[in-house]
Amino acid sequence: MKTEKAKSIQKAILVFALSVVIWRLTFMLFDAKKFADNVLWHIGAGLFLSVLICVLMIVMLNTERKINSSSWKKGIPSYLKDFSFGFLCWIIPVTISMYAFISAGQVTIALQTESTTLIVRYLALLIAVFFIEAFPEEIIRGYLYSRLEAAFSPWSALLAQTILFTLFAFLIGSLYSIDQWLFIPGFGFLLGYFRMLSGTIWFSMGFHVAMMTVIQSMGSIQKFIAVDGNFFVVRFLTFVLLPATVGSIILHLKKNRTKK
């Protein structure tokens, strides 16, 4: 038993270390500073990164003889359903909340580009976020959680995964400000919590894409949407707390219904 636990921990550490190398290699080859200026470059870097992460996972799962397990036989329709579910669990409560705050005069939104251009830029950014962040990160998060859960309790695995992803963000240079230090550990915990509740990486992936695409569209680098309002109302309450609460409640209800 101790040997199996040790092996699970060793595999988690190995994948964590290789993931850091892959991310840093991608940023070095593609120069992350160019992402804001050339979205196709950003997408290309994401595709390169995602392919390497998929190769890593295939190798690891083959060594564990899990490549043919039932969890990999659900098929694309099931993955798309879980992904869309996670995406909507962020989009719907945020849309309702933003509409309410705009109507109350607490928040204002101004487009920084034409509406037709906005749609194209938003879709391009969504694709870039999917390949450079959500898809590879959630695959690694799912693997780390599964290996850590084999050695510890689910909650201990969740906390260990959160610590590892915070360290991961630091090692690849993503913890560059106080805001990031405040945001990333909580976001990592939330996505891991969703993975624990849903039993799939695809719900977390959909939630991840929806949230980070909108946040980055308003960031200092992209900024094709300008939002003016109370920081707590917009950033924390609307974009994090409300959708996180809605997603957690829905997943708990779904899990309880499945048990019955």
**Nearest Cα to Cα of residue 78 among 199, 189, 259, 251:** 199
pLDDT of residue 191: 96
pLDDT of residue 69: 46
DSSP letters along 96-112, please? HHHHHHHHTTSEEEEES
Tokens in use for 237? 């309450």
> For residue 38, what is the DSSP state?
-
pLDDT of residue 4: 83
Half-sphere exposure of 75 (CA within 13 A, CB side): 2
Residue range(s) defining the domain that contains residue 194: 2-259
Q: How far is CA 175 from CA 130, 161, 167, 170, in A?
A: 20, 17, 9, 5
Q: Are 138 and 205 in contact (CB under 8 A)?
A: yes
pLDDT of residue 177: 86
| Each residue's pLDDT expressed in tens, for the chain with a length of 260 residues | 568 888 899 999 999 999 999 999 999 999 877 877 788 899 999 999 999 999 999 999 888 765 444 445 567 788 999 999 999 999 999 999 999 988 888 888 887 777 778 888 889 999 999 999 999 999 999 999 999 998 999 999 999 999 999 999 999 998 988 888 989 999 999 999 999 999 999 999 999 999 999 988 886 566 677 788 776 777 788 999 999 999 999 999 988 877 65
pLDDT of residue 220: 57
Q: Are 145 and 159 in contact (CB under 8 A)?
A: no
φ, ψ of residue 107 in degrees (nearest 5): -140, 145
Report how many domains make up the chain.
1
From the number of C-beta atoms within 10 Å of its C-beta (0-12, 13-18, 19+), residue 142 rates as buried
pLDDT of residue 67: 47
Q: Tell me which H or E stretch contains 187.
A: helix 178-198
> Where do the DSSP E strands lie in 13-172?
107-111
**CA 229/CA 100 separation, integer angstroms:** 13
**CA 102/CA 97 separation, integer angstroms:** 9
Contact partners, residue 208, CB within 8 Å, separation at least 6:
86, 129, 133, 134, 137, 138, 191
**Nearest Cα to Cα of residue 180 among 219, 150, 214:** 219
